[in-house]
Amino acid sequence: QVQLVESGGGSVQAGGSLRLSCAASGGSFTTNAMAMGWFRQAPGKGREFVAAINWGGASTYYTDSAKGRFTVSKGRAKDTSYLQMTSLKPEDTATYYCAAGSRVPVHGRTSVPNRDEFDYWGRGTQVTVSS
């Protein structure tokens, strides 16, 4: 019953920036345990975790490849998640997926979230980074 829609993908030169958006609708996102995450998948590759944020937006978690370059945030209504990507590299080229889950810890975690921790998924938005 929860729907997630990503937007903001496109083509950019290496070193450039893009901001992805994820709009959630059709469900309840009022619990503090509800987290929103971003994954990506390149052709022939598995779905890779990128970043996650808790409902209130105070806690975030990033994979090593995203640290220092990507920033995940929440909109005022808390039903929108943003992924600001800077210093993009060709290896960032992938389809980026928004995800949401009600049982995904973010604050203080030390391990990369598994895709199975998330309950809902968007259809993805393409990001292409050229040299």
pLDDT tens digits for range 45-71: 999 999 999 988 999 999 999 999 999
CB count in 10 Å sphere of residue 118: 23
Q: Which residues contact 122 (CB under 8 A, 6 or more apart)?
A: 4, 5, 6, 22, 97, 98, 99
Ramachandran angles phi, psi of 123, nearest 5°: -90, -10
- Which stretch of 28-32, 33-37, 108-112 has the lowest confidence by average pLDDT? 28-32
Q: How many CA atoms lie within 13 A of 50 on its CB side?
A: 27
